[in-house]
Amino acid sequence: MLYVGKAVDLRKRVGSYFRNTSAISVKTRVLVSRAADLEFVVTSTEKEALLLEASLIKKHRPRYNVILRDDKNYPALRIDPNAPYPRLEVVRRFQKDGALYFGPYPSGYAVRETMKLLNQVFPLRQCKGLRLASRDRPCLNYSLGRCLGACAGKISQEDYRKMVEEVILFLQGKTDVLQQQLRQLMEEAAEVLDFERAAFYRDRLKGIEAMLEKQHIVSDRFLNQDILGIHHEPEGTELAVLFVRQGVLIGQKNFDLHDAQGEIHELLASFIQQYYDGGRYIPDEILVPVELEDRQVLEEWLTESRGKRVHLWPVKRGERRRLLELAERNALERFTSRRRFHERDQDILAGLQRLLKLPRLPQRMACVDISNIQGQHAVGSVVVFSDGQPDKQFYRHFRIDGKNEPDDPAMMAEVVERLLDSDPALVDRLDLFVLDGGKGQLSRIRHLFEEKGMTERLPLISIAKEREADRGEKGRGLYEKIYIPGRKNPRFLSHYPDILHLLQRLRDEAHRFAITHYKSLHRQGLLLSALDQIPGIGPRRRQILLKHFGSIESLQNAGIREIGEVPGIPEGLAEKILDVLKMPDQE
């Protein structure tokens, strides 16, 4: 599948690819030269065509369509005002559940910083769980002034509700109303000589003023807007999205649409379809630089998805034009920077090819690593770099059989053999295979390659950590050992730091990916072991508890009544579960 497109007049659209080929772009000419067949589907409405196009792109991921490499949902803040004691939580999906959502934030760091500031000014409960678990003593956050101690009855539900309303006002951007209310409460407390409470409201006002100083107002409309700026050249396309919430610019996100073909209005329409699909936040306005052919259909679809009117503005003048120019400038800067780094990476790959005498440019490299402790929960990871950068769609991990413990070369051989057998298409596209290890790992995998007939097809090397004795005056990190089949002594790349750093990044990413998977299995094993210690918990009840709570943290923070409401878990057994799993600060 090369490309999926839609049009009101399919004959005219398809014909445009074959008439006057000198006027069409290079990408379109390449697309047409590779095409062997064409299929079409007739739909009853334009909206149906829109949805079908999005579905087929998501399913087949054609090379010449807009494919969002970074298509995860960005974090947002959620608070449910209908809960008895609401809490702020970070989520990545918007649902129609009666809760209020604020965001999205362009990065995890941004939402963590916002949460940290909010917890200082508005000390709502931070304990996890849908319901508030009762405690005799409040948690450490209460002692630090970052929680109101609702779990221990330190605040009434009415007073807690007032704090929740203040948080909502602040996140909605109605800070002037909030400040006016707090100032009035402070003056009322001072009049009745309740200076401690007056000081509490004074500190809250100062905290809000400090937070507002960090915000930069870019629009006095106080709308939620996404601004789509695009820079389009024959060599590639960059799209920047600016996030404006309540008139404040909170961040941006960039997307590389390098292989996507089509005119600017086609690229923007396809991007909007994919980006706002699947529970992502939809703002009041989406600003674009050109008129879109499917504007009316897209607006209708966005409005239905959001449940509220959404405007798709092709901007020409005014304040919105200034915001759009800012987004386009960001897209241009990112495109220029990305092209510069790509050229640098290509030079490094060419240098690596020369040094290792590789038959072709190592545009796609894979690295294998193993993670375990004494053979327990042993896992293997495979990561892939394309053009010198992580290509996470090709990452793989494997659970290693216990029979190999704790033999690292044997474990690595199992992982490599399973990769060769299970994913030959990925292996055929590799230009270099890297092992995280020394001579032992290289020798074992070399024999495996000989058995599989891979020796001539795929170059193989290994990279080993430096020893103290290997290190020269130039310092740490430059004396990693590069082992090559057929060469007795390792190769040092200390005189080629850029090339060495690329191999180190590849090795470190494989190690990180393996460790992450190992920790996940280890945590799961701890949870299973803890539940297995409880009399009356068998495989069936253990599965029910895991499905209901999802994690050991949620189960630990649950109350006896909440656990007792799980089907098949009586109250007496719920008490035993809490006795075994209770947190240190719950004792």
- What is residue 85's predicted lDDT score, i.e. its pLDDT? 82
Say whether both 101 and 171 belong to one domain: yes
- What is residue 155's predicted lDDT score, i.e. its pLDDT? 80
**pLDDT above 80 for 247:** no
Which range is most confident: 113-117, 133-137, 171-175, 307-311? Answer: 307-311
- What is residue 585's predicted lDDT score, i.e. its pLDDT? 41
When comparing pLDDT for 337 and 132, which is higher? 337
| For range 316-328, the mean pLDDT | 88
Helix (H, G, I), strand (E, B) or coil at 470: helix
Question: What are the tens digits of pLDDT across the range 506-530?
Answer: 999 998 888 887 677 656 655 555 6
Say whether both 383 and 490 belong to one domain: yes
Beta strand extents in 28-103 (DSSP E only): 76-79, 89-91, 100-102
Reported as type and span, the H/E element at residue 73 is none
**pLDDT above 50 for 580:** yes
Helix (H, G, I), strand (E, B) or coil at 211: helix
Q: β-strands 432-436, 364-373: how paired?
A: parallel
Instruction: Enter the tokens of residue 200.
Output: 């509490």
Say whether both 160 and 255 belong to one domain: no
Say whether both 100 and 24 belong to one domain: no
Burial class (CB in 10 A: 0-12, 13-18, 19+), 144: exposed
**pLDDT above 60 for 286:** yes
Rounded to 5°, angle at Cα 515 from 514 and 517 = 65
Q: β-strands 460-464, 481-483: how paired?
A: antiparallel
| HEC per residue, 287-335 | EECCCCCCHHHHHHHHHHHHCCCCEEEECCCHHHHHHHHHHHHHHHHHH
Say whether both 148 and 246 belong to one domain: no
Of 129-143, 185-199, 308-322, 332-346, the least confident: 129-143
- What is residue 586's predicted lDDT score, i.e. its pLDDT? 42
Task: Kindly state whether residue 5 falls inside one of the protein's structural domains.
Answer: no
Percent of the chain with pLDDT over 90: 20
Number of domains in the chain: 5
- Tell me, rounded to whole angstroms, the distance of Cα 508 from its chain centroid: 19
* pLDDT interval class at 474 (50, 70, 90): low
| For range 125-144, the mean pLDDT | 72
Nearest-angstrom CA–CA distance, 379 and 371: 5
Sign of CA dihedral 419, 425, 429, 431: positive
- What is residue 479's predicted lDDT score, i.e. its pLDDT? 76
CATH classification at residue 539: 1.10.150.20
Say whether both 190 and 170 belong to one domain: yes
Nearest-angstrom CA–CA distance, 442 and 449: 10
Say whether both 173 and 142 belong to one domain: yes
Instruction: Enter the tokens of residue 315.
Output: 């901007």
Contact of 407 with 378, CB cutoff 8 Å: no
**pLDDT above 70 for 394:** yes
Say whether both 121 and 144 belong to one domain: yes
Percent of the chain with pLDDT over 70: 82
Task: Kindly state whether residue 518 falls inside one of the protein's structural domains.
Answer: no
Which range is most confident: 102-106, 141-145, 325-329? Answer: 325-329
Domain span holding position 576: 533-586
Of 246-255, 402-411, 491-500, 577-586, the least confident: 577-586
Task: Kindly state whether residue 357 falls inside one of the protein's structural domains.
Answer: no
- What is residue 333's predicted lDDT score, i.e. its pLDDT? 92
Which range is most confident: 173-187, 241-255, 550-564? Answer: 241-255
Say whether both 93 and 198 belong to one domain: yes
Of 214-223, 372-381, 473-482, the least confident: 214-223
Closest C-alpha to 124, from 92, 95, 81, 91: 81
Task: Kindly state whether residue 230 falls inside one of the protein's structural domains.
Answer: yes
Nearest-angstrom CA–CA distance, 232 and 197: 58
pTM higher than 0.85: no
Task: Kindly state whether residue 510 falls inside one of the protein's structural domains.
Answer: no
Which range is most confident: 15-24, 260-269, 418-427? Answer: 418-427
Task: Kindly state whether residue 276 falls inside one of the protein's structural domains.
Answer: no
Which among 469, 487, 505 is the end of a domain? 505
**pLDDT above 60 for 273:** yes
**pLDDT above 50 for 583:** no
Sign of CA dihedral 563, 130, 109, 380: positive
Instruction: Enter the tokens of residue 190.
Output: 């001072």
Instruction: Enter the tokens of residue 488.
Output: 């007795």
Mean pLDDT taken over the chain: 80
Say whether both 378 and 434 belong to one domain: yes
Instruction: Enter the tokens of residue 414.
Output: 């199992």
Closest C-alpha to 247, from 222, 213, 283: 222
Task: Kindly state whether residue 347 falls inside one of the protein's structural domains.
Answer: no
Say whether both 540 and 492 belong to one domain: no
Of 56-70, 142-156, 164-178, the least confident: 164-178
Reported as type and span, the H/E element at residue 385 is strand 376-386
- What is residue 376's predicted lDDT score, i.e. its pLDDT? 60
- What is residue 402's predicted lDDT score, i.e. its pLDDT? 58
Question: What are the tens digits of pLDDT across the range 18-56?
Answer: 876 666 777 778 888 888 888 888 888 888 888 888 888
**pLDDT above 60 for 211:** no
**pLDDT above 60 for 404:** no
Nearest-angstrom CA–CA distance, 448 and 438: 16
Task: Kindly state whether residue 343 falls inside one of the protein's structural domains.
Answer: no
Say whether both 158 and 191 belong to one domain: yes
